Amino acid sequence: MIPLIEVSLSWLFKNAKGHDAKSFFKGPAFSDFQEKQEITVTAPECGPTNSVLGVEYTHDGAGKFPALRWEAPSHIADQVKEWLLVSEDPDAPLPTPICHGIYGGIPSSKTSVEPADFEVEDPSKALLKGGFHYGRSRNGSVYIAPRPLLNHGPHRYFFEVIALKEPLDPSLLTATTTREQINKAIIGNILGWGMWVGIAERRWG
């Protein structure tokens, strides 16, 4: 019965995709950057940007967070005090992209993440084993693995890396802090950004 409901919803909302204009990197904090990406983000195990995510990276498999690497030009890298990482789905049939995960307090010396980094170290501090903190995803979990509606077509999953001039206020490093609160807090605090995109689709029938 559930697959039938999902397929019906997909048909009803077949045109409800592509909410890029409300993505995190379209927020007011990015007004000086437009579409310019100076940070190169890669996912060596998954392939180039716009690669299809293997089942192990989706809800139907292990739900692993893709291993990411990023590199910034020297004029940015030399000034970074902290990194911010955001994962979202702009193709969900909702008014705004689904926040799959938001992570702050990533040390400036850390320019990669592995799936093991997203295991919880101390839930009272929203601290992960990678040495950084998680904020509020749409359902409150550390990370929501991709699970697009059946037959809704391919969904893009944005993995955005943002270089910050100054560390986030420690009061924002909590499990209840939202993407909207973070976006507001980093106005005037961005050095540059970049993203890698993974694709996932679920079919039935």
Give yes or no for residue 96 having a pLDDT over 50: yes
Give yes or no for residue 1 having a pLDDT over 50: no
Give yes or no for residue 9 having a pLDDT over 60: no
Q: According to the model, what pLDDT value does residue 33 have?
A: 85
The secondary element (H helix, E strand) that includes residue 192 is: strand 190-200
* DSSP-assigned letters across all residues of 37-75: --SEEEBTTTBSTTEEPPGGGSTTTT-PPPPEEEE--HH
CA neighbor of 132 nearest in space, from 68, 203, 82, 193: 82
Give yes or no for residue 12 having a pLDDT over 70: no
Distance CA 143, CA 198 (A): 15
The arithmetic mean of pLDDT across residues 96-106, rounded, is: 97
Q: What percent of the chain has pLDDT over 90?
A: 81
Neighbouring residues of 109: CB distance < 8 A, sequence distance ≥ 6? none
Superfamily of domain 2-200: PEBP-like (3.90.280.10)
Give yes or no for residue 174 having a pLDDT over 80: yes
pLDDT digits (tens, 9 = 90+) for 40-89: 999 999 999 999 999 999 999 999 999 999 999 999 999 999 999 999 99
pLDDT digits (tens, 9 = 90+) for 124-159: 999 999 999 999 999 999 999 999 988 889 999 999
Give yes or no for residue 2 having a pLDDT over 90: no
Question: Rounded to 5 degrees, what angle do the CA atoms 34, 21, 86 make?
Answer: 80
CA neighbor of 70 nearest in space, from 130, 111, 29: 111
The arithmetic mean of pLDDT across residues 80-101, rounded, is: 95
Q: According to the model, what pLDDT value does residue 76 have?
A: 96
Which is it for strands 127-128 and 82-89: parallel, antiparallel or unpaired?
A: unpaired
Q: Where do runs of H (alpha helix) occur along the chain? A: 2-12, 74-77, 179-185
Give yes or no for residue 202 having a pLDDT over 50: yes
Q: According to the model, what pLDDT value does residue 15 have?
A: 60
Give yes or no for residue 114 having a pLDDT over 90: yes
* SS3 of the chain: helix, strand, coil, percent, to 5: 20, 30, 50
Quote the tokens at residue 197. Answer: 């995109």
Sorting pLDDT into bands at 50, 70 and 90, what band is 99? very high
